[in-house]
Structure 1
C-alpha cells in the first residue's frame, strides 16, 4: 500500500469550513456605530426641541413679534412675578401630591387583596388593567359625560340631584384627582403586586410557624421588602402628575377660573392661545427644573431603599 506525501513547498490545502463565514473587519468595526444610531436619533429628537425652547426663554418671540430680540431674564421676571403662575404652581403641587398619595395607598391595598389566590381575585386582576388601556383624553371625555349635572350617571347613582356640579370651582380639582386615581391606580397596583409575588416565601412561613399575625408580617417583613417597588411607583406617578395636561384640559381646560390651571395648562395658554412662545417656553423650563430636582431627590431615596432592602446599606 502506497501513500502520497505532500511536497514541502506545496501550498496548504483548503479545508471545508464548518462554522459561519468570518465577518470582515470593517463590518465588525461599523457594527457598534450602527447599533447606536437609534439612541443618537432619540437623543437628538429630545435635545433639539429642548434647546430651542431654552433659547426662546431669553427672547421676546411671539406671533405679534416674528423678529425676536434678546431680552435676557425678562421672561423669567415676568412669569415669576405673576400671581397666576404661583397659583398654577400651587394647583400642580396639590394635585400631584394628593393624586400620588391616594393612588399609592389604594394601589397597595388592591395589590394585597389580589395577592390572595381566589377566583374573584384572578378575574379582577384581568379587569384591573382596563383603565390603563384607555387614552387619558378618552377617559376625560367619558368622565365629563358622567360628571354632567343634568344627565350624568354619578348624580343619579349618589342621589345628588341636578344641582350638584362636579366641575364647579369648589369641586373641580377634587374631580380631577378622582379621574386620575381611576386611570392610574391600576399601574401602582400591578407594580406592587409584581413586587409582592417576587418575595421569598421562607421568612413568611417561619413567622407563621412562630405565631405572628398578618399585620406584623406585613409591617416587619413585607413592607420593607416591597418598599423599593412602592417608591418606583411613586416616582413614576409623581413625575407624571407634575406635568399632567390631557384629561384635565379635556375636563375643565384649567377652569373654572384658575381652579385647575396647572403649569402645563398655563404653558399651553401662553404658547398656543396667546401665541407668546417665549413666555410659554419659560413656563415649561421652570416646570422642567421642578421635575428634574424632584426626580433627582426621589431617585436618591429609591437607591437608599434598595440598599436597605438588600442589606447593603453602609
Structure 2
C-alpha cells in the first residue's frame, strides 16, 4: 500500500528523523557531536596556555642553570630586577624605535605601491608576481643573504654604491641596516593587503565624482583614503605586532650588537634564557613583552573598529 503524503510528512517531522529513507541519528550522538567538534580547539588552547602558565610561574622563581637543584620562590624580585635594569629599558627603546620606524616606512611604501598597481596592466601583473618574492624567503635566510651583502670588505652593496669599506653593521648604522632588511622583506605584504582592499572598493562614488569634474587628488583624499583606511590599519596592526617581537633576521644580522644597539626585547629574553641560562629572567622579559603586545593590540583593534564604523557611515 502506498504511503500517503500525510504519513510521509509526519515521519519526516519526527525529532532526529532525517528526510527520506536515511537512518535516524541516535539522540546521544547528536548531543555529543558539538563536543567532538570542540576537541581540536580545546587541544590548541591547552597547548597554548600550558607554556604560558609555566612561563608565568617561572617569573616567580629563582630558576637558573646555577641552582637547578635548589629552586626557590622569590615572588616579584625578577620583575624588580628587570624593571630597574638599564638593559631592559634600552631594549624597550630599541624595540619601540624599530617597530615605529619600520611600520611607518612599510605602510607608506606599501600604500604607494598598491596605488601604482591599482589599475590592472600587463606590467603591473608581472610586478605583482615579482613583488611577493621577498615574502617567499625565510627571514633568517634573508638575514644571511643581507649580511653577506653588508660585508664591509667584499659586500656587493659597497661595490655597487661606491662606498669603499663602509660598515653597514657598525654601532652607528646597525639599527638602520636591520630596519632596511625588514622593509625589504615585508613591504610587499603591506602592498598586497592594501591592494586587495583598494580593488574591493565600490566604483560608483568614483564614477559620480569623475562626472562632477573632481580631480584625482580630491577623490583620493575624500573618497579612497577614508574607505581604504580600515585595510591600512589591518596592515599596520599585523606589522606593528610582528615588529614588537622581532628576532630572526635581527639576530642573524647582528646578534643584538654591536654592544646593545640592536638588542630588542626578544633578543634580550633569548640572551638571558639561553646564553646566560637564567630561565626566570628570560621568562620575565617574555612576560613583559607579552603584556606590551597585548595592550598595544587591544588599543589598535579598538582604533580599527572605529575606522570600520566610520567607513561604513555609522556614528561612533
Classify the TM-score, shorter chain: over 0.9
Aligned partner (choices 195, 200, 203) of residue 201 of structure 1: 203
Q: Report deviation, 1:38.
A: 1.0
In the TM superposition, 1:249-268 aligns within 5 A as 249-268=251-270
C-alpha separation between the residues in 1 aligned to 2:21 and 2:308? 45
Normalised by the length of structure 1, the TM-score is 0.93
Aligned partner (choices 85, 104, 119) of residue 122 of structure 2: 119
Matched, 1:311 2:294: no
1:153 alignment partner in structure 2: 156
Higher alpha-carbon Rg: 1
- Structure 1 residues 19 and 135 mapped into 2: Cα distance closer, same or farther (>3 Å)? farther
1:14 alignment partner in structure 2: none
2:49 alignment partner in structure 1: 47
**For residues 242-291 of structure 1, what are the alpha-carbon distances to aligned partners after superposition, in whole Å with 9 as ceiling and x for unaligned?**
00000000000000100100000000000000000000000001111111
Q: Report deviation, 1:54.
A: 0.4
RMSD: 1.2
Q: Report deviation, 1:104.
A: 0.4
1:282 alignment partner in structure 2: 284
2:99 alignment partner in structure 1: 96
C-alpha separation between the residues in 2 aligned to 1:28 and 1:143? 57
2:59 alignment partner in structure 1: 57
1:25 alignment partner in structure 2: 27
Q: Report deviation, 1:156.
A: 1.2
Normalised by the length of structure 2, the TM-score is 0.92
1:293 alignment partner in structure 2: 295
1:11 alignment partner in structure 2: none
Dislocated runs of 4+, deviation >4 Å: none
C-alpha separation between the residues in 1 aligned to 2:138 and 2:144? 10
Q: How many residue pairs end up in the alignment? A: 298
SS at 1:95's partner residue? helix
C-alpha separation between the residues in 1 aligned to 2:23 and 2:258? 70
1:86 alignment partner in structure 2: 89
Q: Report deviation, 1:26.
A: 2.0
2:111 alignment partner in structure 1: 108
Which structure 1 segments of 5+ residues have no match?
4-16
Q: Report deviation, 1:19.
A: 4.3
SS at 2:65's partner residue? coil
Aligned partner (choices 272, 275, 290) of residue 273 of structure 1: 275
